[in-house]
Structure formats: C-alpha cells, structure tokens
C-alpha cells in the first residue's frame, strides 16, 4: 500500500516536472489547487448519467469524465440513478429528462450548433444539464463547462445559452503533401500523408479536441497553392481517414482544388469551366469525394493568383469557375470557397485595388453555395491593414473572413504577438455599407445583408512541434480565432484572460501582467516593424526581417519600395484621388475619413498619404521624429515585455517559462534589428538627424542590407 502511494506520488511529481511541454494546449485539466473551490465543485458534481451511445455523445462524456477527473482529482462515476449533483448530457432526443428540465425557448435559442448549460431541480435532486439540439452542441457545452471550472468560475446556478454567430468556423492549413508547410514555423505538417490512412496519430484526435473546444467545425487540410494529386483516390482515402477521426468532434474536412486538375489528373485537354467535359469531370470527382467522405465540407480555391491556374486562363471569370465547382459540390451538401486574394501581373494598377476591381462586378453572379473568402486587409496580412474594401461592397455574395494565424509577417513563431486585437480591430471597422454601424462583423456574420451562409477562417499556425504552434503564446492565436468565430462580440482581453487561466495559471499575479503584455504585443510589433501605416517592407521571398530597400523582385508590387514610396519629400503611398485613388473603393464616409490628412487616423497615415518628412503630427513631432519615436518605443516595449516575463518566474512551470524567456530574447534582438535597419534606411531620404536621446544603431545600413537568409523557414515547396 505504502509502496503504491509512493509510486503514485513519484508519478505525480514526475509528471509535473515533465509534462509542461505545451502539448496539452488550453486543455490541461490539472487539479484545482484552491481547496475551498475544489470542495465546492466536488459537492456540486457527484455523478454522471450515462449518455446515449452515439459517437459524439460518447466523446463528450469521455471528455467530461477525463476533464473532471483531472480538475477534481477524483473519478466522477457513471450512475443511471438521479442524485444530488448528477450531470445530464444529451439532446432532447436522447434524454426525455432534458426536455422536461430545460425551457424550450432556451433550446430554441441554441439553434443548430449551440448549447444550453442549465442547473435545475429534478425529482428533488440538484442536477446540471449540458445539452444542445444537436450532439455537437452538447460537446461544445461540455468544453464550455470544463472551461468554467478551469478558469475558476461559478457553476451554480447556471442558465446559459450560447450559439455561434458564424456558420463555417475553419482552419486553413497551407500544408503540402510532402509535409512542408507554406509559411509554417512550427515544424512540418501534422498530416503524415505517407502513413495515412492506416496509421492514425494520437495528435489527430487531440487536434480535433482542441478545435471542438473552441467551436471550430471545419478544417481545410491542404495548401491553397494546390496539388492536383490531393483529389486522387490515394489521397481521398487518406483524407477520409482524418474525416473519420474528426467526425465525432463535429469537424468536417475540406480540401483545396487545383483548377487545372482535370488536365493534370483527369487527362483532359482543358480546364475551361464552360467546357461540358470539364464540368462532367468535376461532377464525377465530387461524386467520388462524397463516396469516401459523405459529410465532406467542400472545396477551397485559389485561382488566377500568384501563378495558380484559374478560369481566366480560358477567358472566363471567377464566377464561371466557382459556379462550375458549385454545380458539382452543392448537390452533395458542400460549399465552394473561392478566394479573393488575386492580383494580376499585367495590371499596372495599385495592388490594393485589384481584388475589388475583379470581384465587385461579379456580385450577384455566384451560385448559391459559393462563399468568397477575403483577407482581412487589401494587401496581405500585414501587421496593420485597413479593412478590405470588399467588405460591405458585395451585398449579394456571402463573404467569408480570412485571417492569418501563422505569423508570416508578424515575426514568425519567434515573436510574441497576440493577434486578437488585430482581428477585432477589423471586425469593428465600420464599412458604412448601409449607413453608420455597418461593421465588418455584420458583413461576415450575415446580418448586414441577410445571408445564412457565413464563415471565418484562420490560416493555421500548427505544425508537428511538440507544442503545436512553435511559440507557447502562438497557441493563443489559434484559440482566439475559434472564440471569435463563435462570438465576435468577445473582447480580445476576455479571450486572453480565459486562455491564460487555462493554459498557464489562475493566480492574479500572473494573469494580470501577462494579459496586459499580450494585449499590447500587437501594437508593440507594429511599432518596431511597420509604424504609422507602413506596410510590406519585409525581406523578399522568405519575408523574414526588414528590407525596405528591396527593389529587385520580378514584379513591382512584390518590392517594398513600391509600398513605402520614400523620397526626398516624404513617405507613404498616396491612395487619395491625387494618387492611385484606391480610397474610392470605400464608401464616402470611410474614403473621406482616410482621405483627409487631418482626419486620417495616424495608425493608417502612410497607407493613404505621401506625407512630408516635416509634417506636424498630433504629438507635435514631425513625421520623421514620430517615425523614430515609434521604432524606438516599439523596441523598448519588447525590453519591457522581457521584464514582465522575468517577474513571472516561479509562478508557472520552469519549462515554458524558460522557452518564452529565450524567445523574448530573440524578439528583442529582432525588434532592434527592424528599428535600426528601417531608421537608417529612411534617414537616407529624410536626411534628418536621429532625434536627441536615441541610441545610435550599432551597425551601418550596408551591414543590414548585406544580411542573407537562404534557409529562413516557411517557404515550403509544393513538390
């Protein structure tokens, strides 16, 4: 007996020493250390009524059991008889008790995917009900309930209903069949195509758990720079195996379609969407896909963009291409997600304007079942972009939001950047499409134009690194995407707080400072990389580090100099009527706000104006001084982040503490690199001295320009 206890103790202490490698994400379920709370929860939760034996309800039950076992440190028995503290799991269809205990209007409010958490008295017993109209809702409810415990919230009384505001809540993996990940910084792809379909890594299940816990209900497995082989039988069988793992978690599988697939794998001479043989080929392909994956979510397509084939190769429009695929896919219940990230090499116009120019005229031409997926901003996932002018501009078309979780332009997986403030800034921007209060969020959730097909996607930051995302804090961006897709009214602060409490610790001494650090991290990064509306000034190709001087790219709009337009007079891209007039793509109210130098928020200044170096900013400083101020403040803030983190020593496990500490060290160096390189380079145009009091860069501009990174991660060849 003693021996067992010793080993148990040994095992526990061993686990606490070795287990904090980040693998458990925000689903750690460690025993609650606050004894009073532990006792309270224990007395409120005594047993679990066995759920119906369907895959999703059994999954929900297992999650609840293992979660409670961890959090309460004891097993909650399955017990059919109602007792004080019973938990009842199920849908009104699987349990008559639920229908009698939960008010019908609450169930109605939960809709198809939502859930109800309800405490009630049934046959004289205090019970907790976790329910939804569909089984996936029950699972979401279980995860929400476990979150309440993990974050030390009260669980009695509960009368809480929650339903997602957005229908398709997706991750987009830019994963190639050779397991390289385009713009991936967390190892190779988690999809081990070679061993699929027979070898099902435990990670696939944990991936599904993590996604379901935040309401993500679909995953696009493959890169939008697509490989036609994805749609061959060999790979469909592999994708079907993943779909099988994900199904109980309410997660559908989607794939990317290469537009030229009929030629490459179908032996046709053309991929012209108006050619009957091509249409027939896609119909048969869709039938085949659905024979393997009956609940297949649909196809995501990047066409006529950055060298990808598309309908324009045949003189057809994006709508022609999307509609052909929709005719094949929608009869099976799937959707076609067509990306609006296009810019043509031949079009000499401002790259900002190209997606709008191509897509706006197609509004109303897309078939039912097609969504157009639009990046949050007009260029390309920069640290700060104004909202994309297509939002609010295509009333007849369901527009889906595309964010980038992977930090292609945000310091890779080395910089601590919490992206929720970026996401919410865009969602809250007012498009004025139907007058004031026509926020981007309402264009995405369907309320602005009355669409029922709605979606939000995040380009995944997941790889096979033990901690999934490379940086322990990058997990928060995955988490935030799911939470905001479910409910975009949540604040970045609220999401950060619940993530920290589950992922690290509940102590206020930790939560407070770390939350503040997360919330300011995005602005800090903007300051040391692209302040005042600068954009696209990173290294060429790999996108690592600063290279505002670069002008050797094969096309003008891949060059930083194209975007910042520094000259002896000033800095910034004039997108007013006097310049490219991109502002005309916005509603008048927005165009006026940004178009007037006096009213344009300074955060967006250089997006829209070419501003003289000695222009007086609101602070009283000149543009040049303000630019220096921002770069130096940004780099200094990283120093402060390190200090904050150092103060957290001892409050969490040593392993993750040390990892973050080292990463912040790199971030500080790289912030100084960005600052020095950019200030020295822009100084060659402003010809003004560094304002007094700033430490001089310790290297020359030539030094920064000479740096080369042939093996920077994330380029990802699609072999």
Nearer to ligand GCW among residue 302 and residue 535 (C-beta): 302
Residue 306 annotated in active site:
yes
Distance from C-alpha of 530 to C-alpha of 627, rounded to nearest angstrom: 9
Residue with Cβ nearer ligand GCW (91 or 304): 304
Q: Which of 275, 380, 449, 589 is catalytic?
A: 380
| Cβ atoms of 462 and 469 closer than 8 Å | yes
Shortest Cβ distance from residue 257 to ligand GCW (Å)? Answer: 14
Backbone angles phi, psi at 616, to 5 degrees: -80, 120
Distance CA 377, CA 391 (A): 10
Near ligand GCW in 373-392, by CB under 6 A: 380-381
Q: Provide the minimum distance between the beta carbon of 306 and ligand GCW in the complex, in angstroms, as a whole number.
A: 6
Q: Does 318 bind ligand GCW (CB under 6 A)?
A: no
Total Cβ atoms within 10 A of residue 636: 18
In the complex, the smallest distance separating the C-beta of residue 226 from ligand GCW, rounded to whole angstroms, is 9
**Contact set for ligand GCW, span 275-314 (CB under 6 A):** 302, 306
Least Cα distance to 422 among 492, 469, 475, 474 occurs for 492
Among residues 566, 535, 604, 605, the alpha carbon closest in space to that of 683 is found at: 566
Q: Is 381 or 613 the residue whose CB approaches ligand GCW more closely?
A: 381
Counting residues that bind ligand GCW (by CB under 6 A) gives 11
Burial code (b: 16+ CB inside 10 Å, e: under 16) for 96-105 equals ebbeebbeee
Among 182, 385, 574, 668, binds ligand GCW (CB under 6 A): 182
Residue 620-659 contact track with ligand GCW, rule CB under 6 A, x = bound: ----------------------------------------
130 interacts with ligand GCW by CB under 6 A: no
C-beta closer to ligand GCW: residue 183 or 675? 183
The contact pattern for ligand GCW, residues 566-595, with x = CB under 6 A and - = no contact, is ------------------------------
* Smallest gap from residue 348 Cβ to ligand GCW (A): 21
Residue 197: asked if its preceding bond is cis (omega within 30°), the reply is yes
Angle at 361 between CA 430 and CA 396, to 5 degrees: 60
Closer residue to ligand GCW, CB minimum distance, 101 or 372: 372
Tell me which residue of 440, 438, 436 sits closest to 426, measured CA to CA: 440
| Helical spans, DSSP H, in 84-200 | 96-101, 104-110, 135-150
Q: Counting contacts by CB under 6 A, is residue 224 touching ligand GCW? A: yes
x/- letters, 245..264, toward ligand GCW (CB under 6 A): --------------------
DSSP code for 339: E
Can you spell out the DSSP letters for 658-687? HHHHHHHHHHHHHHHHHHHHHHHHHHHHH-
The HSE-up count of residue 346 (CA atoms within 13 Å, CB side) is: 3
Cβ-contact 182, 223 below 8 angstroms? yes
Task: Judge whether 589 counts as a catalytic residue.
Answer: no
Least separation, in Å, of the C-beta of 673 and ligand GCW?
A: 21
Catalytic residue, from 234, 306, 489, 654: name it: 306
Query: Which position's Cβ is nearest ligand GCW?
Result: 380
Which among 308, 373, 382, 375 has a CA at the least distance from the CA of 345?
308
- Range 406-425, binding ligand GCW (CB under 6 A): 408
Reported for 694-697, long-range contacts at CB under 8 A and 24+ positions apart, including other chains, are: 694/628, 694/632, 695/632
| Distances, alpha carbon 9 to alpha carbons 6, 30, 55, 70, 583, in Å | 5, 15, 35, 15, 65
Q: Which is nearer to ligand GCW, 381 or 387 (CB)?
A: 381
Query: Could you tell me the smallest distance in angstroms from the CB atom of residue 380 to ligand GCW?
Result: 4
Give the CA distances from residue 205 to residues 185, 212, 298, 352, 464, in Å, rounded to whole numbers and listed in that order.
22, 10, 21, 40, 14
Binding residue (CB under 6 A) for ligand GCW from 26, 143, 174, 432: 174
408 is catalytic: yes
Residue number with CB closer to ligand GCW (180 or 467) = 180
Shortest separation between residue 208's beta carbon and ligand GCW, angstroms: 24
Residue among 126, 128, 150, 225 that touches ligand GCW (CB under 6 A): 225
Q: Which two tokens stand for residue 95?
A: 């349990």
Closest to ligand GCW by CB, 300 vs 561, is: 300
Based on CB atoms, which residue is closest to ligand GCW, 302 or 483?
A: 302
Q: Are 314 and 270 in contact (CB under 8 A)?
A: yes
Active site residues: 306, 380, 408
Contact set with ligand GCW (CB under 6 A)? 174, 182-183, 224-225, 302, 306, 341, 380-381, 408
């Amino acid at each position: 007996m003693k021996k067992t206890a010793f080993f148990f103790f040994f095992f526990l202490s061993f686990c606490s020493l070795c287990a904090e490698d980040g693998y458990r994400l925000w689903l750690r379920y460690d025993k609650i250390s606050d004894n009073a709370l532990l006792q309270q929860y224990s007395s409120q939760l005594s047993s679990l009524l066995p759920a119906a034996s369907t895959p999703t309800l059994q999954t929900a039950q297992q999650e609840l059991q293992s979660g409670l076992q961890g959090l309460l440190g004891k097993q909650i028995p399955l017990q059919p008889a109602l007792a004080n503290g019973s938990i009842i799991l199920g849908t009104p269809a699987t349990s008559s008790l639920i229908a009698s205990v939960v008010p019908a209007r609450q169930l109605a409010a939960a809709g198809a995917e939502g859930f109800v958490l309800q405490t009630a008295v049934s046959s004289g017993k205090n019970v907790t009900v976790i329910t939804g109209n569909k089984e996936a809702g029950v699972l979401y409810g279980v995860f929400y309930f476990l979150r309440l415990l993990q974050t030390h919230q009260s669980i009695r009384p509960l009368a809480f209903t929650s339903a997602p505001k957005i229908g398709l809540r997706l991750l987009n993996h830019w994963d190639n069949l050779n397991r390289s990940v385009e713009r991936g910084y967390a190892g190779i792809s988690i999809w081990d195509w070679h061993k699929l379909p027979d070898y099902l890594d435990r990670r696939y299940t944990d991936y599904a758990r993590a996604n379901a816990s935040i309401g993500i209900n679909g995953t696009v497995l493959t890169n939008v720079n697509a490989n036609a082989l994805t749609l061959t039988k060999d790979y469909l069988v592999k994708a079907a195996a993943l779909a099988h793992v994900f199904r109980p978690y309410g997660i559908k599988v989607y794939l990317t379609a290469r537009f030229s697939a009929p030629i490459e794998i179908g032996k046709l001479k053309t991929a012209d969407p108006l050619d009957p043989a091509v249409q027939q080929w896609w119909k048969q392909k869709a039938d085949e896909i659905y024979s393997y994956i009956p609940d297949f979510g649909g196809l995501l397509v990047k066409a006529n963009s950055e060298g990808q084939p598309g309908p324009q190769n045949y003189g057809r429009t994006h709508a022609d291409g999307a509609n052909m695929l929709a005719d094949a896919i929608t009869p099976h219940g799937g959707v076609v997600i067509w990306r609006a990230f296009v810019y043509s090499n031949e079009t000499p116009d401002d790259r900002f304007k190209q997606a709008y120019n191509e897509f706006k005229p197609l509004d109303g031409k897309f078939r039912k079942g097609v969504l157009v997926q639009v990046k949050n901003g007009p260029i390309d996932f920069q640290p700060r972009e104004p909202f994309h002018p297509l939002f609010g501009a295509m009333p007849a078309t369901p527009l889906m939001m595309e964010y980038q979780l992977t930090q292609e332009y945000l310091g890779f997986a080395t910089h601590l950047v919490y992206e929720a403030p970026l996401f919410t800034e865009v969602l809250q921007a007012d498009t004025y499409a139907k007058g004031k209060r026509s926020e981007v969020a309402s264009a995405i959730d369907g309320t602005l134009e009355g669409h029922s097909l709605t979606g939000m996607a995040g380009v995944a930051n997941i790889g096979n690194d033990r901690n999934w995302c490379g940086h322990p804090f990058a997990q928060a961006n995955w988490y935030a995407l799911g939470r905001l897709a479910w409910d975009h009214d949540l604040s970045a602060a609220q999401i950060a707080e619940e993530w920290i409490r589950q992922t690290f610790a509940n102590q206020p001494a930790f939560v407070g400072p770390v939350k503040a650090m997360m919330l300011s991290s995005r602005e800090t990064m903007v300051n040391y990389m692209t302040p005042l509306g600068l954009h696209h000034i990173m290294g060429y190709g790999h996108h690592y580090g600063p290279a505002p001087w670069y002008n050797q790219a094969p096309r003008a709009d891949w060059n930083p100099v194209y975007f910042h337009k520094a000259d002896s007079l000033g800095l910034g891209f004039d997108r007013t009527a006097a310049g490219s007039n991109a502002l005309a793509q916005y509603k008048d109210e927005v165009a006026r706000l940004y178009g007037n130098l006096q009213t344009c928020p300074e955060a967006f200044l250089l997006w829209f104006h070419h501003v003289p170096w000695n222009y007086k900013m609101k602070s009283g400083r000149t543009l040049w001084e303000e630019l220096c101020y921002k770069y130096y403040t940004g780099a200094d803030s990283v120093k402060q982040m390190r200090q904050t983190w150092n103060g957290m020593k001892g409050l969490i496990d040593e392993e993750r503490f040390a990892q973050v500490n080292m990463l912040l060290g790199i971030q500080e160096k790289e912030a100084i690199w960005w600052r020095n390189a950019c200030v020295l380079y822009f100084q060659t145009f402003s010809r003004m001295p560094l304002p007094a009091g700033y430490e001089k860069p310790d290297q020359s501009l030539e030094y920064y320009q000479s740096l080369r990174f042939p093996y920077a991660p994330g380029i990802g060849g699609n072999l």
